[in-house]
């Protein structure tokens, strides 16, 4: 019996020495939990093809609505798992001086400056006081490839229609595409 215990004890000691090695290999074979993707959501821009703005001047109510678009989208994206919204304030002045829709992907550079993995830009196109369109586009900062994009047509130039439009765009289009991009 003593001989059997000696043999088993020796084997057990060898197995105990191998345990940390086996554990390390097992841990390395499983991917680590994915880090949150950092998202920079830039202020939305108005494309007024109705000519009302050039004839009547700036509409303060419409400007206030436009300024609510990006914060609403930031809040919605921040509530998603695996996404963190980064502060765009350090590049806000540079971004505001550009037309982010046509500046040759300058939003990607600004997003990179604030440490984001994804840049989100958006527009509201005003065809008339009755017909408006809210658009949002999310791009991978490293590749420039689109991750999510969508559009929501709204009717009437009111607080309620704009708020419902951005909520619909997020819930039914952008959120699903961002979830699929993980």
- Give tens-digit pLDDT for 123-152: 999 999 999 999 999 999 999 999 999 999
Neighbouring C-beta atoms of residue 91, cutoff 10 Å: 20
What would the mean pLDDT of 98-108 be, rounded to a whole number?
91
- Confidence band for 31, pLDDT divided at 50, 70 and 90: very low
pLDDT at residue 11 tops 90: no
* Owning domain of residue 7: 1-30
- Do 21 and 70 sit in the same domain of this protein? no
Pairing of strands 146-155, 83-85: unpaired
In this prediction, residue 157 carries a pLDDT of 95
- Do 42 and 11 sit in the same domain of this protein? no
CA distance to 17, 44, 109, 119, 136, per residue, from 70 (Å): 56, 6, 18, 12, 10
In this prediction, residue 30 carries a pLDDT of 42
In degrees, rounded to 5, the angle at the alpha carbon of residue 82 between the alpha carbons of residues 81 and 87 is 100
In this prediction, residue 35 carries a pLDDT of 81
pLDDT at residue 166 tops 50: yes
- Do 10 and 63 sit in the same domain of this protein? no
What would the mean pLDDT of 81-102 be, rounded to a whole number?
95
User: Which of 120, 125, 128 has the alpha carbon at shortest distance from 170?
Assistant: 120
- Do 8 and 56 sit in the same domain of this protein? no
CATH code at position 155: 3.40.50.10070
What would the mean pLDDT of 85-91 be, rounded to a whole number?
98
Pairing of strands 37-41, 45-48: unpaired
In this prediction, residue 165 carries a pLDDT of 98
Q: Does an H or E element contain 100, and which?
A: none
- Do 90 and 23 sit in the same domain of this protein? no
Give the separation between CA 80 and CA 39, rounded to whole angstroms.
11
């Amino acid at each position: 019996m003593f001989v059997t215990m000696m043999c088993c004890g020796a084997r057990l000691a060898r197995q105990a020495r191998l345990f940390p090695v086996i554990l390390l290999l097992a841990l390395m074979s499983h991917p680590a939990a994915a880090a949150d993707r950092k998202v920079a959501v830039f202020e939305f821009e108005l494309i007024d093809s109705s000519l009302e703005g050039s004839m009547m001047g700036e509409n303060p109510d419409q400007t206030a609505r436009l300024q609510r678009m990006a914060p609403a989208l930031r809040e919605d994206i921040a509530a998603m798992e695996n996404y963190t919204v980064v502060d765009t304030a350090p590049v806000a002045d540079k971004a505001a001086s550009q037309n982010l829709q046509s500046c040759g992907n300058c939003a990607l550079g600004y997003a990179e400056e604030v440490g984001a993995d994804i840049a989100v830009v958006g527009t509201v196109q005003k065809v008339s006081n009755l017909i408006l369109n809210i658009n949002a586009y999310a791009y991978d900062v490293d590749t420039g490839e689109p991750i999510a994009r969508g559009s929501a047509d709204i009717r009437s130039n009111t607080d309620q229609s704009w708020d419902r439009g951005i909520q619909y765009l997020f819930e039914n289009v952008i959120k699903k595409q961002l979830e699929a991009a993980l």
